[in-house]
Structure 1
């Protein structure tokens, strides 16, 4: 377990990358374009709220 702050909204959360079945991000699925966009925009884990919001946002073309 690691205490982190979301780079998108600055909310504190617990990252459990070493126990992924109990991590707050478990079960959230992204397509390849979404994964690429998130990886390009953020350099660390995001909180569940932000992940769920990004899951439903349309993918923006590169350069925007």
Structure 2
């Protein structure tokens, strides 16, 4: 398996380098997600999102949780 590949974000279609073989150097490490946020994103998208979209989805999840209160 390749250490990294260029993929397109399923949310914004931006190309980014996925480093599944070197996860600590992957762009996704820029965004810290808790388990609930991970589940929320997985319910909406299959595959990896770019770091920008992960941050947006994290914020969207937070806002939805606030609205439920």
| TM category, shorter | 0.7 to 0.9
Whose helix proportion is higher, 1 or 2? 2
Unpaired stretches in structure 1, ≥5 consecutive residues: none
Work out which of the two has the higher radius of gyration on C-alpha atoms and give 1 or 2: 2
Query: C-alpha displacement at 1:31, in angstroms?
Result: 1.9
Q: Does the 8 Å CA contact 2:8/2:15 hold for their aligned counterparts?
A: yes
Relative contact order, higher structure (CA 8 A, sep 6+): 1
Unpaired stretches in structure 2, ≥5 consecutive residues: none
The structure 1 residue matched to 2:17, chosen from 6, 11, 14, is: 14
The structure 2 residue matched to 1:36, chosen from 19, 31, 39, is: 39
Question: Which residue of structure 2 lines up, in the alignment, with residue 55 of structure 1?
Answer: 58
Q: Tell me the number of residue pairs that the alignment of Structure 1 and Structure 2 aligns.
A: 61
Cα 1:27–1:11 change in 2 (3 A) is closer
